Amino acid sequence: MRAEDPRPVRLAEYRPSDFLIDAVELDVMLDPTATRVTARLRLRPNPAGRDNAALTLDGDDLNLVSAAIDGDPLRVDDLDVSPSSLTIANPPRRPFELTVTTLVDPSANTKLMGLYRSNGAYCTQCEAEGFRRITYFLDRPDVLAVYTIRIEGSEAENPVLLSNGNLVETGAAGEGRHFAVWHDPHPKPSYLFALVAGDLGVVEDQFVTMGGRKVTLKVFVEHGKEDRAVHAMESIKASMRWDEEAFGREYDLDVFMVVAVSYFNMGAMENKGLNVFNDKYVLASPETATDGDYANIEAIIAHEYFHNWTGNRITCRDWFQLCLKEGLTVFRDQEFTADMRSRPVKRISDVRGLRSVQFAEDAGPLAHPVRPEVYAEINNFYTPTVYEKGAEVIRMLKTWIGGDAFRAGMDLYFDRHDGQACTIEQFIACFAEVSGRDFSQFLRWYSQAGTPEVRIATAYDAEARTFTLDAAQSTPATPGQHTKLPVVIPLALGLVGPDGRDMPLVVGGAPAGPVFALTDETTRIVFENVEQRPAPSLFRNFSAPVKVVSDIADDDLLFLAAHDSDPFNRWQAAQTVALRHLVASVAAVRSGREPADEPRLAEALSRAFDPAESDCAYAAQIAALPSEGDVARELGEDVDPDAIHAARGFLKSAMRRRLGPQLLAAYERLAETGPYSPDAASAGRRALKVAALDLLAAGGERDGIARAHALYSGARNMTDRVMALQVLSLHASPEREDALADFARVYGQDPLLLDKWFVIQASAPLPDTIDRVETLMASPGFDIRNPNRVRSLIGTFGAGNPTQFNRPDGRGYAFVAGVVAELNASNPQVAARLLGAFRTWRSLEPQRRGKAEAALRGLADMPRLSADVADIVRRALA
């Protein structure tokens, strides 16, 4: 136990701030090691706060230079000051101005929170609690102020000086220095503040909003990378248009800026008018980016832009409400991508992601509600549960009340709460009001952790011509929550007749559905006038984030895989059959038997490679078997990752044997012909091509390996090259080594491409992977201070390599824990994220579980654990 454990923060203990800050003027004198920040804060007592309260401002690692109230300097004994707080016991009980000067050292800031340096530029990251590393402040999201920022710095080193809002003044400041003044008229919480300064290249464009406002768009990148910013720029314009069309939301400043930086803890940040991005999610060119990169950039640009309304104009009252902005904004970016690309493909890949990460989190020791009720370290709650399950909850809400009511509720929310810091209750009240429904039970989605399980039993009565569906829901116990109540589960379904068509749904003599709300522990629905035994298509389009256990036979699922009108469920049906088969195969492998063959699965899969299937991206989803993680989750306990890998490998080889000629034909048919274009249809063709290649190379088949090598060598775009390398990397071969060496030779100097090379090697299911990863960590291209390098190499090894991270000898656990220990002091946020690799450790078979636990206990015993790491280690072990 650490002596200085901070008290956990509890939702139930929320109190309004005793003081408010209406306006902030910051004067920032840039210097690499001693930046001087003078903050003039216009404060007043909060009518909703306590009378005669002391004023305590938050700080983190700050050096106070001076402080004054209304111009009168404060003496040391008027103050109680430390690096982490500044208290004035008896401040004026009327509006007053507090001036505080602090000194910060951006060069020493390795945590990448507050003001820091990235490749010679200055940048800031303030969410969640980084502003307090710049100046003493009421650093909480319910304190909204208007900001005016003056930045001054060396003109040669920082020709570009940026902050939020609109540029109001620039000029010379003498001695080679210059300044810029920015004013943001929209009151905002401190976490949305940003400042960027440096010598950056820029791409400019313009957008005319639906109201006729001309907005200047700028994307800042390192010099020489301007041509890689074009796709990001196009994505900004597409996002702005979409938010107008889909939600009626218009942009509200004269300028919108995106800056790409290479040192960044997360993906990107929605600072008002000045989004700061991890450069990985901005830079793209056909020579350097894959289809996946193009798609990610489009989605993340959209996500951050959409925050302008869901997050910035309406923000969160406190950090427990994080899903108010994140879940909603993820939902919005998912819809954007669905509209820009293929809707079913987007849904399938989101559900794959949700299950592999969020379901895993929900089933392990780090499970928490979409709206947590307590936290020790808020940085650790930027989780798949808050983001992705949070988005599913919004999606269910829409499914439950319908699209029109959903839009009306959103309009009401924007209207009523613009400019406010809100709670989930206020958000939900808008939908209750427009729909007239009672949301009290629905709100349990925000407070109960764990993935609900729905058991479905069905019965057809030919004589009565009824089809009866019995659904039973339950939510497993999770840390701190032992008993659970039923939630509102929207079940979208169809009854598919033998002709492949949906039958009319009649319940109680009247047309019903297609969405049924399961609100009780058990629900029975009796469908009438059912002339023939149907195949039930359940949870169409994944209408609820639940685990479904049904008695539907493989035969019916295979029928649905061919005929269901719902594309999501055609995919799901085949996945379910494959998953059942893999679970049985794992048992066979573990008892030394040969897994059974599954000819009907081959038939289902073969549909993906049929030339008649015109949506290649969709076909590629059909072709992809459940992942090793999917199988592990399905098993739930006593997991042996090697057995899962063997079973899946066996199935892939069986598919190759059965589908060989068809795979080859598809592979050749899909060969690249014209120039590269990252559009969704072309990307889909490449994805399907590599799915065929992956099966052709199953088991290390020579012919498949040779083809992968040929694809690598002849590749005319980065997608083909990287995907070919990925296939090669799965099997030990001379071709593999040749291609890996070639890639390093040609692209090793570009950090983002080096990351791809790291990812491929770190995810290889080969016994020498850990040695390679250790060697790569010591290579010149690796930089432990750069979060992208760390995530690509160590993050991938921990979270993306089930067999090698979970080596039976425990070396994988010890290695990742060692890196966490190394990063604990310099970048606790990144260190804590790496520990996510341990989120399912309790479900492992006993030997591995013991070794994983030992690695975690070793960390727990380390002196001077950061709050971030300590929090995860403790919860993981609790």
- Of the candidate spans 113-121, 279-287, 322-330, 600-608, the one that interacts with Zn ion by CB under 5 A turns out to be 322-330
DSSP 331: H
Q: 329 to 348, contacts with Zn ion by CB under 5 A?
A: 329
State how beta strands 55-58 and 85-88 pair: antiparallel
Nearer CB in complex with Zn ion: 270/755: 270
Question: Quick one: what does residue 291 bind among ligand PHE, Zn ion, none, with the CB cut-off 5 to 8 Å set by partner type?
Answer: none
Write a three-state SS string for 456-473: EEEEEECCCCEEEEEEEE
Nearer CB in complex with ligand PHE: 128/496: 128
Q: In this structure, how many other beta carbons lie within 10 angstroms of the beta carbon of residue 588?
A: 16
- Of the candidate spans 265-273, 667-675, 729-737, 835-843, the one that interacts with ligand PHE by CB under 6 A turns out to be 265-273
Shortest Cβ 268–ligand PHE spacing (Å): 6
Nearer CB in complex with ligand PHE: 184/270: 270
Question: Quick one: what does residue 125 bind among ligand PHE, Zn ion, none, with the CB cut-off 5 to 8 Å set by partner type?
Answer: ligand PHE
Residue 382 binds ligand PHE, judged by CB under 6 A: yes
Nearer CB in complex with Zn ion: 331/467: 331
Nearer CB in complex with ligand PHE: 193/805: 193
Reported as type and span, the H/E element at residue 269 is strand 268-269
CA dist., res. 635 & res. 663, Å (int): 30
CA dist., res. 289 & res. 648, Å (int): 30
Shortest Cβ 270–Zn ion spacing (Å): 6
CA nearest 318: which of 138, 163, 185? 138
Shortest Cβ 26–Zn ion spacing (Å): 24
CA dist., res. 479 & res. 874, Å (int): 12
Shortest Cβ 215–Zn ion spacing (Å): 21
Question: Quick one: what does residue 799 bind among Zn ion, ligand PHE, none, with the CB cut-off 5 to 8 Å set by partner type?
Answer: none
Question: Quick one: what does residue 382 bind among Zn ion, ligand PHE, none, with the CB cut-off 5 to 8 Å set by partner type?
Answer: ligand PHE
- Of the candidate spans 266-274, 420-428, 684-692, 722-730, the one that interacts with ligand PHE by CB under 6 A turns out to be 266-274
Active site residue 245: no
Catalytic one among 222, 270, 304, 853? 304
Nearer CB in complex with ligand PHE: 326/853: 326
Shortest Cβ 329–ligand PHE spacing (Å): 7
Nearer CB in complex with Zn ion: 189/802: 189
Nearer CB in complex with Zn ion: 293/326: 326
- How many residues touch Zn ion under the rule CB under 5 A: the total is 2
- Contact between 99 and 67 under an 8 Å Cβ cutoff? The reply is yes
| Binding track over 223-262 against ligand PHE, x by CB under 6 A | ----------------------------------------
CA dist., res. 70 & res. 507, Å (int): 72
- Contact between 750 and 288 under an 8 Å Cβ cutoff? The reply is yes
Shortest Cβ 127–ligand PHE spacing (Å): 4
Report whether the peptide linkage leading into residue 626 is cis, meaning its omega lies within 30 degrees of zero: no
Question: Quick one: what does residue 333 bind among Zn ion, ligand PHE, none, with the CB cut-off 5 to 8 Å set by partner type?
Answer: none
Which residues, 6 or more positions from 245, have their beta carbon under 8 angstroms from its beta carbon? Answer: none
Q: 723 to 742, contacts with Zn ion by CB under 5 A?
A: none
Tally the residues of the chain.
878
Nearer CB in complex with Zn ion: 325/736: 325
Shortest Cβ 189–ligand PHE spacing (Å): 12
Question: Quick one: what does residue 266 bind among ligand PHE, Zn ion, none, with the CB cut-off 5 to 8 Å set by partner type?
Answer: ligand PHE
Nearer CB in complex with Zn ion: 273/490: 273
- Of the candidate spans 263-271, 562-570, 598-606, 769-777, the one that interacts with ligand PHE by CB under 6 A turns out to be 263-271
Question: Quick one: what does residue 127 bind among Zn ion, ligand PHE, none, with the CB cut-off 5 to 8 Å set by partner type?
Answer: ligand PHE
Shortest Cβ 477–Zn ion spacing (Å): 30
Question: Quick one: what does residue 844 bind among ligand PHE, Zn ion, none, with the CB cut-off 5 to 8 Å set by partner type?
Answer: none
Q: 51 to 80, contacts with ligand PHE by CB under 6 A?
A: none
Reported as type and span, the H/E element at residue 186 is strand 177-188
- Of the candidate spans 118-126, 142-150, 321-329, 445-453, the one that interacts with Zn ion by CB under 5 A turns out to be 321-329
Residue nearest ligand PHE (C-beta atom) = 266
- Contact between 817 and 856 under an 8 Å Cβ cutoff? The reply is yes
CA distances from 61 to 58, 102, 135, 494 (A): 10, 10, 10, 59
CA dist., res. 222 & res. 202, Å (int): 8
Candidate list 74, 236, 269, 754; residue touching ligand PHE; CB under 6 A: 269
- How many residues touch ligand PHE under the rule CB under 6 A: the total is 12
CA angle 284, 286, 291 (to 5 degrees): 75
Q: In this structure, how many other beta carbons lie within 10 angstroms of the beta carbon of residue 315?
A: 24
CA distances from 93 to 42, 44, 47, 89, 90 (A): 13, 7, 11, 12, 8
CA angle 202, 207, 213 (to 5 degrees): 125
Which residues, 6 or more positions from 749, have their beta carbon under 8 angstroms from its beta carbon? Answer: none
Which residues, 6 or more positions from 336, have their beta carbon under 8 angstroms from its beta carbon? Answer: 238, 239, 242, 246, 299, 302, 306
- Contact between 93 and 768 under an 8 Å Cβ cutoff? The reply is no
Nearer CB in complex with Zn ion: 258/492: 258
CA dist., res. 154 & res. 173, Å (int): 9
Q: 106 to 145, contacts with ligand PHE by CB under 6 A?
A: 125, 127-128
- Contact between 55 and 180 under an 8 Å Cβ cutoff? The reply is no
Shortest Cβ 709–ligand PHE spacing (Å): 39
CA dist., res. 445 & res. 781, Å (int): 45
CA angle 60, 65, 68 (to 5 degrees): 105
Q: How far apart are the first and last CA of the chain?
A: 13
Shortest Cβ 200–Zn ion spacing (Å): 24
Candidate list 30, 266, 586, 655; residue touching ligand PHE; CB under 6 A: 266
CA nearest 425: which of 410, 440, 408? 440
Shortest Cβ 304–Zn ion spacing (Å): 7
| Binding track over 299-338 against ligand PHE, x by CB under 6 A | ----xx--x------------------x------------
Nearer CB in complex with ligand PHE: 282/604: 282
CA dist., res. 366 & res. 343, Å (int): 31
Which residues, 6 or more positions from 714, have their beta carbon under 8 angstroms from its beta carbon? Answer: none
Q: 267 to 306, contacts with Zn ion by CB under 5 A?
A: none
Shortest Cβ 490–Zn ion spacing (Å): 25
Question: Quick one: what does residue 269 bind among ligand PHE, Zn ion, none, with the CB cut-off 5 to 8 Å set by partner type?
Answer: ligand PHE
Residues that bind Zn ion (CB under 5 A): 326, 329
Residues that bind ligand PHE (CB under 6 A): 125, 127-128, 266, 268-270, 303-304, 307, 326, 382
Q: Which residues are catalytic?
A: 304
